[in-house]
């Protein structure tokens, strides 16, 4: 692992690091904010998964998480959204290929050699983090925005023993029923829709629920709301009788202005669960 940069931030350290990834078969970069409390003891970890077109940098600089992370004593990790570099498959569309990994392990050409973001986020990057930083492995939470909200919800559903809470900002909530999902899942996983279901939060919650606190914020002025399908998530939560807080935020769009507006709420929500 190489240190790209480390910068003092709210009395903690905002770092950027790179490493050779076995899962993705290329170099990967991630950011980690360590609050001031990390100087004296291991701290809990919040995973923040970003959306389409983002790198590690977008949320690191725009989401406003560090001030609240420092207040609560929580580390925040910002992974990249896909493999990158020479020889890594790409597509001219912004919603497929580099910047659009969709947090799955691709099985189809030309994506299969590198697009293994599920294994990277759930296995390889955690091992790197807990080996190199003084973090509390038994005290984790997860959140994300848009495509990253999809990733946060689906990963939490598959690893309920790992996370104490999950939240999402405007998640792609029902990708098997949306053009933001059907296109990508068929490209990465093939035509068998039964394989897609493991990566659809609405289907997973209806099937198995989420045994942890759940918070979702969605803007009513979001240009992509018809692709995100918050109503499908709400229906699954109601059918499962899943404890959850779903908030439709009047007038907010899909941007980082929306994310930053409610970041304090999400950080407090996760801190309550992490320190319970």
Specify whether the CB–CB gap between 14 and 6 falls below 8 A.
yes
Assess whether 5 carries a catalytic annotation: no
Assess whether 222 carries a catalytic annotation: yes
Structure tokens at 258: 């929306």
Which of 56, 199, 254, 270 is catalytic? The answer is 254
Structure tokens at 269: 């929500």
Question: How many CA atoms are closer than 13 Å to the CA of 132, on its beta-carbon side?
Answer: 15
The C-alpha R_g of the chain, in whole angstroms, comes to 17
Nearest to 49 by CA among 100, 124, 14: 100
Which of 80, 105, 200, 222 is catalytic? The answer is 222
Judged by DSSP in three states, 187 sits in: helix
Which of 50, 82, 146, 167 is catalytic? The answer is 146
Assess whether 165 carries a catalytic annotation: no
In DSSP notation, 70-128 reads HHHT-EEEEE-SS--STT----SSTTSBTTB-TT-B--STTTTTT-BHHHIIIIIHHHH
Q: Catalytic positions, please?
A: 146, 222, 254
């Amino acid at each position: 692992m190489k240190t790209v940069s480390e910068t003092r931030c709210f009395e903690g350290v905002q770092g950027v690091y790179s490493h050779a990834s076995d899962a993705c078969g290329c170099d990967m970069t991630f950011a980690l904010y360590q609050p001031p409390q990390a100087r004296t003891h291991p701290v809990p970890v919040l995973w923040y998964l970003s959306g389409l077109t983002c790198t590690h940098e977008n949320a690191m600089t725009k989401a406003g998480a560090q001030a609240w992370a420092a207040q609560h004593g929580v580390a925040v990790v910002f992974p990249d959204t896909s493999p990158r570099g020479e020889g890594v498959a790409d597509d001219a569309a912004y919603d497929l290929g580099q910047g659009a990994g969709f947090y799955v392990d691709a099985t189809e050409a030309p994506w299969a050699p590198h697009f293994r973001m599920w294994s990277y986020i759930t296995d390889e990057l955690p091992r790197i983090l807990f080996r190199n930083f003084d973090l509390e492995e038994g005290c984790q939470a997860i959140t994300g925005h848009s495509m990253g909200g999809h990733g946060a919800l689906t990963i939490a559903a598959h690893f309920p023993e790992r996370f104490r809470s999950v939240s999402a900002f405007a998640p792609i909530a029902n990708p098997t029923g949306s053009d933001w999902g059907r296109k990508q899942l068929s490209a990465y996983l093939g035509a068998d829709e039964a394989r897609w279901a493991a990566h659809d939060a609405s289907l997973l919650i209806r099937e198995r629920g989420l045994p942890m606190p759940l918070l979702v914020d969605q803007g009513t002025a979001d240009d992509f709301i018809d692709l995100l399908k918050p109503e499908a998530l709400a229906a699954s939560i109601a059918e499962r009788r899943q404890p959850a807080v779903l908030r439709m935020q009047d007038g907010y769009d899909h941007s980082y202005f929306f994310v930053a507006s409610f970041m304090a709420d999400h950080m407090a929500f996760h801190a309550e669960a992490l320190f319970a």
